[in-house]
């Protein structure tokens, strides 16, 4: 493989057009039905090898799932809360078959549950007394959501955590000053646990079963120029003002359409030694050993609403959303199957959805419009990455390079960012900071042979605020009174 900066202009321009279809590459709007259910809508899944937050000698699998796209930081007085009638799940799966080997379920308390003071309009900043929140669930935090974690291995389902606090929203400096600087903007980029804000620290729990968990609002770490892409490829997407031979869409003139928005996140650290690793074949890295990771959200089959305001949720759990890799459902699966994909287990992907990867319609559309020659059939490389649709994490490596550390590159192995001889980032799991749009477009344009790498992107090359280098890694949630959408 020649991973260089040489660019085949025709293929590059065609692949850039592909960004119009892949821009929602992190499941922000992956299917019609889940678009109507934002609290159950998974935006991103991250999984990578790292160190335990309080013991660097313990190697762990980090898994983070983000839901509720385009969460407005200043959306008071209630702000965003996890759905209390949904089951949020992390699946540890066989990387070859997609079969779930272990599942962690997060269940959250009532969104209109007990408050310390029901006779106020404020959920935060006034409970039993007014003022800034110092500690989670103190007398200034009127509403506090909690959650329970269950672990299922085989037929054994065990509760491993309960009454755990969700971190509060970042209301602003008068209510949640620990999140922000003096100007009321979120402070992020901590390199140690002690450097994290106190709310995040207090929301990290080490369970007796060995896992570490977190839940709360976070910055949306997915970055892409959505507005420019959907403006029929605004010139800022494809323009190469620097005239450098570094690929198309690599000059940084794009605008991050997710800038300033938050999400809801739940995350775990799982000891690597406790995981059932399996051998699998990687199109880029050969025979490897590791696990698969994906996430689902489920709801009860029947929901009854009563005129007195009560809700009854009964029946079996029904899966309404899932995500493993970025890009696949949005850019490869046809409209007829997008909602069915969200209801299906990855163990069925080989028979139901592999054709979308092997014969990508997207490549044919690009060729028709621009006369390019992207391969439209026999894309075993894409099948290897996406089928079954789980993040494949190589668990035999050292902890991977993190965003902000020396040697990190948003393009992973395409930028020579390697850990133990393989890519530090996607498609070896996925880290915060991985530029999945650019990596995905580059793969589409360069495969299946990859004898020459054609670097393709959208000119949006970084998140709007730094990621933390310690669990839970996702950046601090934006402040409701002053966030990056307010800055130029």
Counting Cβ atoms within 10 Å, is residue 300 exposed (0-12), middle (13-18) or buried (19+)? Answer: middle
Residue 11 has pLDDT above 50, yes or no: no
Q: Flag the least confident range among 43-57, 357-371, 439-453.
A: 357-371
Average pLDDT over residues 232-252: 68
Q: How far apart are CA 488 and CA 486, in angstroms?
A: 7
Q: Which of 265-274, 367-376, 436-445 has the lowest mean pLDDT?
A: 367-376
Integer Cα distance of 6 and 445 in angstroms: 13
pLDDT at 244: 63
Distances (CA, A) of 132 to 4, 175, 269: 53, 4, 30
Q: Which residues pair with 295 in a beta bridge?
A: 90, 323
Which residue, among 172, 250, 211, has the nearest Cα to 16 in the 3D structure? 250
How much is the pTM?
Answer: 0.93
Please state the rounded mean pLDDT for residues 110-125: 95
Please check whether residue 46 is in contact with residue 431, taking contact to mean a CB–CB distance below 8 angstroms: yes
Q: pLDDT by residue (tens digit) across 383-398?
A: 999 999 999 999 999 9
Is 66's pLDDT higher than 80? yes
The gap from C-alpha 487 to its chain's centroid, in whole angstroms, comes to 24
State the average pLDDT for the chain. 90
**Half-sphere exposure of 285 toward its Cβ, with a 13 Å CA cutoff?**
27
- Residue 252's alpha-carbon distances to 236, 237, 416, in angstroms, are 9, 9, 20
- Residue range 157-201, pLDDT digits in tens: 999 999 999 999 999 999 999 999 999 999 999 999 999 999 999
Written as one string, the DSSP assignment of 29-63 is: S-SHHHHT-GGG-EEEEEEEEEEETTEEEEEEEEE
More confident residue, 205 or 308: 205
| DSSP characters over 111-155 | TT---S-SSSS-SBSBSSSBS---STTSTTB----EEEEEEEETT
CB-CB contact of 481 with 173 (8 Å) = yes
Number of residues in the chain: 488
In the three-class reduction of DSSP (H, G, I as helix; E, B as strand; rest coil), residue 266 is classed as strand
Pairwise CA distance, residues 162 & 107, whole Å: 9
Nearest to 79 by CA among 258, 305, 263, 267: 263
Confidence of residue 402 (pLDDT cuts 50, 70, 90): very high
User: What DSSP string runs through 395-454?
Assistant: TTSPPPP-TTSTT--TTGGGGT-EETTEESSTTSSB-TT--HHHHHHHHHHHTTT-SS--
Q: How far is CA 397 from CA 44, 98, 261, 269, 291, in A?
A: 23, 21, 33, 16, 12
Give the C-alpha separation, 127 to 107, whole Å: 25
What are the structure tokens assigned to 271, written together? Answer: 């000891």
User: What confidence category does residue 1 fall into, taking pLDDT thresholds of 50, 70 and 90?
Assistant: very low
pLDDT band of 5, cuts 50, 70, 90: very low
Indicate the burial class of 285 (C-beta count within 10 angstroms; 0-12, 13-18, 19 or more): middle
Q: What mean pLDDT comes out for the span 236-260? A: 75
Q: What pLDDT score was predicted for residue 18?
A: 38
Over residues 80-109, mean pLDDT: 98
Contact 272, 54 (CB under 8 A): no
Query: What was the pLDDT predicted at 232?
Result: 55
Cα–Cα distance for residue pair 40/250, rounded to 1 Å: 34
- The contacts of residue 67 (CB under 8 Å, 6+ apart) are 39, 40, 41, 42, 43, 82, 88, 263, 264, 265, 297
Q: Which positions ≥6 away from 55 have C-beta within 8 Å?
A: none
Beta bridge partners of residue 141, listed in sequence order: 124
């Amino acid at each position: 493989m020649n991973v260089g900066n040489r660019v085949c202009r025709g293929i590059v321009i065609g692949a850039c057009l592909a960004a119009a279809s892949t821009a929602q590459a992190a499941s922000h709007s992956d299917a019609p039905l889940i678009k109507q259910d934002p609290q159950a809508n998974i935006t991103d899944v991250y999984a990578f090898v790292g160190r335990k937050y309080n013991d660097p000698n313990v190697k762990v699998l980090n898994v983070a799932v983000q839901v509720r796209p385009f969460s407005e930081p200043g959306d008071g007085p209630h702000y965003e809360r996890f759905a209390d009638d949904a089951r949020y799940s992390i699946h540890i799966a066989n990387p070859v078959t997609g079969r779930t080997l272990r599942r962690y379920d997060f269940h959250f308390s009532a969104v209109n549950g007990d408050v310390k003071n029901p006779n106020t309009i404020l959920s935060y900043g006034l409970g039993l007394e007014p003022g800034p929140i110092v500690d989670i669930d103190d007398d200034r935090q009127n509403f506090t959501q909690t959650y329970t974690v269950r672990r299922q291995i085989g037929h054994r389902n065990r509760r491993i955590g309960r009454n755990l606090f969700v971190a509060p929203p970042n209301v602003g400096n008068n209510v949640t000053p620990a999140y922000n600087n003096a100007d009321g903007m979120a402070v992020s980029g901590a390199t140690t646990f002690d450097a994290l804000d106190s709310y995040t620290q207090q929301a990290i729990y080490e369970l007796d079963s060995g896992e570490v968990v977190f839940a709360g609002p976070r910055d949306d770490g997915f970055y892409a120029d959505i507005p420019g892409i959907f403006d029929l490829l605004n010139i800022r997407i494809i323009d190469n003002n620097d005239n450098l031979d570094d690929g198309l869409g690599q000059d940084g003139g794009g605008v991050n359409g997710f800038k300033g928005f938050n999400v809801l996140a739940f995350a775990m650290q799982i000891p690597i030694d406790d995981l059932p690793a399996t051998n699998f074949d990687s199109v880029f890295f050969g025979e490897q050993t590791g696990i698969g990771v994906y996430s689902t959200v489920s709801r009860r089959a029947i929901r009854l609403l009563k005129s007195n305001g009560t809700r009854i949720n009964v029946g079996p759990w029904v899966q309404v959303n899932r995500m493993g890799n970025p890009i696949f459902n949005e850019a490869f699966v046809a409209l007829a199957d997008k909602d069915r994909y969200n209801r299906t287990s990855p163990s069925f992907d080989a028979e139901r959805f592999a054709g979308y990867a092997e014969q990508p319609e997207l490549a044919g559309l690009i060729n028709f419009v621009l006369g390019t020659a992207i391969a439209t059939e026999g894309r075993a490389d894409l099948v290897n990455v996406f089928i079954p649709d789980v993040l494949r994490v190589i668990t035999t490596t050292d902890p991977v390079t993190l965003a902000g550390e020396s040697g990190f590159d948003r393009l992973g192995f395409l930028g020579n960012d390697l850990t133990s001889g393989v890519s530090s980032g996607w498609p070896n799991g996925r880290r915060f900071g991985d530029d999945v749009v650019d990596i995905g477009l580059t793969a589409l344009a360069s495969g299946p042979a990859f004898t020459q790498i054609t670097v393709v992107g959208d000119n949006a090359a970084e998140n709007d605020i730094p990621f933390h280098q310690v669990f839970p890694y996702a950046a601090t949630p934006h402040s409701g009174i002053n966030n990056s959408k307010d800055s130029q």
